[in-house]
Amino acid sequence: MESISFPEGFVWGAATAAFQVEGASKEDGRSPSIWDTFCALPGAVAGGDNGDVAVDHYHRVEQDVAMMADLGLGAYRFSTAWPRIRPDGGEPNQAGLDFYSRLVDTLLERGIDPWVTLYHWDLPQALEDAGGWANRDTAHRFADYAATVVEALGDRVSNWTTLNEPWCSAFLGYAGGIHAPGRQEPAAAVAAVHHLLLGHGLATAAIRSAKPEAKVGITLNMYPIIPADPSSEADLDAVRRLDGLQNRIFLDPLFKGEYPADIVADLAPYGFADHIKPEDLAIISAPLDQLGVNYYTEHFVSSEPAAPSEPKPGRRATGSPWVGAEHVSFPVRDDATRTDMEWEVRPRGIYQLLTRLHEEYPRLPIYITENGAAYRDAVSDDGSVNDPERLAYIDSHLRAAHDAITEGVDLRGYFAWSLMDNFEWAEGYAKRFGIVHVDYGTQVRTPKMSAMWYSEVARGNALPA
């Protein structure tokens, strides 16, 4: 294979999220988040795992940033924890802000650009008790919190992401009950979609007013949607619905200033339109500087109803996150390998997604804010961690992303998910996404083979031949 160079200035980074790595869940004034509560719910998280210690990033920032520098990373995407910065959703907490200020300084001392995500799923529990994202007021509380963070870090942080994967917050959290807060209320989920987007818009305005030169974006988890039978009208309708519920319901209000009419109609039984006030779409569609794309796999869909699924042993029963498309199913294809999350490895999908965004939406700079894979890694006797599947996964996705650049897509950077193994939400610590291995007993970090390879790619701004 030929060596492939990326455009000059291409950003090479790695990502984490506060709840997944920090631990120190009760320190320095942090209040409980919905994930602390959810973890305590029997059967909610595999192994009964929680985020109390996680990978102890809170106490190991110096060491972790030194490791990033050794790997030659140019940027670190992390999230700030709302319950540290405004405990219980209330007044600012200086100790929480100080932690992130120190993290930012440590990164800058090492020449690593801090990329801050304001919301990666850890809503203060007190705000959930007041209705959570189903309550419109949460959008305003989010903007207040965003203003506090930008005031504290805006002198040193240029790149801001409001929300990470609002689809997950709304549909996994409030409809499927698969993620915190574990509610199975479809009407609350569609309310949450709108209030998350409104929160994004209000936070964008707050960031811009505190720091006009800030670069602001949002990160969406998007998927090409492939019909099981392209000649079946019913399957094509399943594609329309899924694409609407997963991709267009976020992209259209953000970039076209309107919700897709077909999806508003599909969600009418859940009262979606009741939450939309006349002024909201102008707030939501305020211009952005960049779009964050999290890409992992494609969705292959059929209109055949799925067989009812039993909960995994020891786990609580969950519902469908597919509000408005509860009848669709996701047949398994046998022409691709799967990761340890059971997600199909589909590198071509990243090319399809990027070129689609380029054709159908305003041509904003795009960053892949997450891409990567969980595999069962272990430390060998010689101390190394050989993860050829992850290396091949990242390599193949970078090649496909490069093809999109060649076709004119303005892709400006790539963040590997994740910098290190961590708390994988409902899957607990069992699923390892890191390019760096973490021994959860000792907290020893060991860069995997994929990390060494990625380091070469980042340093050379090119994929090796």
Catalytic residue list:
165, 370
For residue 49, state whether it binds ligand NCW (rule: CB under 6 A): no
CB of 3 to ligand NCW, least distance (A): 29
Cα separation of 386 and 305, whole Å? Answer: 40
User: Judged by CB, which is closer to ligand NCW: 357, or 373?
Assistant: 373
Per-residue mark of binding to ligand NCW, 170-189 (x: CB under 6 A): --------------------
Count of residues engaged in binding ligand NCW, rule: CB under 6 A: 13
For residue 78, state whether it binds ligand NCW (rule: CB under 6 A): no
CB of 421 to ligand NCW, least distance (A): 10
CB of 355 to ligand NCW, least distance (A): 22
For residue 347, state whether it binds ligand NCW (rule: CB under 6 A): no
Q: How many CB atoms lie within 10 A of CB 304?
A: 16
Interactions with ligand NCW, residue window 394-453 (CB under 6 A) = 417, 424-425, 433
User: Judged by CB, which is closer to ligand NCW: 93, or 164?
Assistant: 164
For residue 17, state whether it binds ligand NCW (rule: CB under 6 A): yes
Q: Which of 370, 354, 356, 325 is nearest to 120 (CA)?
A: 370
Angstrom distances, CA of residue 431 to CA of 305, 397, 420: 29, 20, 11
Choices 53-61, 161-169, 346-354, 401-409 (CB under 6 A): range interacting with ligand NCW: 161-169
CB of 97 to ligand NCW, least distance (A): 23
Q: Which of 290, 292, 146, 167 is nearest to 219 (CA)?
A: 292
Q: Which residue has the tokens 């190991």?
A: 60
Choices 125-133, 164-172, 205-213, 302-310 (CB under 6 A): range interacting with ligand NCW: 164-172
Interactions with ligand NCW, residue window 266-305 (CB under 6 A) = 294
User: Judged by CB, which is closer to ligand NCW: 204, or 371?
Assistant: 371
Q: What is the DSSP string of 36-64?
A: HHHHTSTTSSGGG--SSSTT-GGG-HHHH
Would you state the structure tokens that stand for residue 442, as one six-digit string?
């000792």
CB of 46 to ligand NCW, least distance (A): 12
Angstrom distances, CA of residue 213 to CA of 122, 159, 210, 261, 290: 27, 10, 9, 34, 13
User: Judged by CB, which is closer to ligand NCW: 165, or 387?
Assistant: 165
User: Judged by CB, which is closer to ligand NCW: 260, or 321?
Assistant: 321
Choices 3-11, 151-159, 160-168, 301-309 (CB under 6 A): range interacting with ligand NCW: 160-168
Interactions with ligand NCW, residue window 359-378 (CB under 6 A) = 370
User: Judged by CB, which is closer to ligand NCW: 251, or 283?
Assistant: 251
CB of 280 to ligand NCW, least distance (A): 25
Q: Which residue has the tokens 């689809």?
A: 167
Helix axes 137-153, 186-210, angle to 10 degrees: 30
Q: Which of 31, 50, 164, 339 binds ligand NCW (CB under 6 A)?
A: 164
Cα separation of 410 and 359, whole Å? Answer: 12
Residue pair 185/175 in contact by the 8 Å Cβ criterion:
yes
Would you state the structure tokens that stand for residue 244, as one six-digit string?
């609407």
For residue 165, state whether it binds ligand NCW (rule: CB under 6 A): yes
For residue 321, state whether it binds ligand NCW (rule: CB under 6 A): yes
User: Judged by CB, which is closer to ligand NCW: 93, or 295?
Assistant: 295
Cα separation of 322 and 3, whole Å? Answer: 41
Angstrom distances, CA of residue 409 to CA of 145, 219, 362, 364, 365: 33, 17, 11, 9, 8
Q: Which residue has the tokens 């899957």?
A: 427
What's the Rg (C-alpha) of the chain? 21
Q: Which of 34, 118, 168, 202 binds ligand NCW (CB under 6 A)?
A: 168
Cα separation of 306 and 294, whole Å? Answer: 26
Q: For residue 307, how many C-alpha atoms fall within 13 Å in the half-sphere facing its CB? A: 5
Choices 104-112, 162-170, 243-251, 390-398 (CB under 6 A): range interacting with ligand NCW: 162-170
Q: What does the binding site for ligand NCW look like in residue numbers (CB under 6 A)?
A: 17, 20, 164-165, 168, 221, 294, 321, 370, 417, 424-425, 433
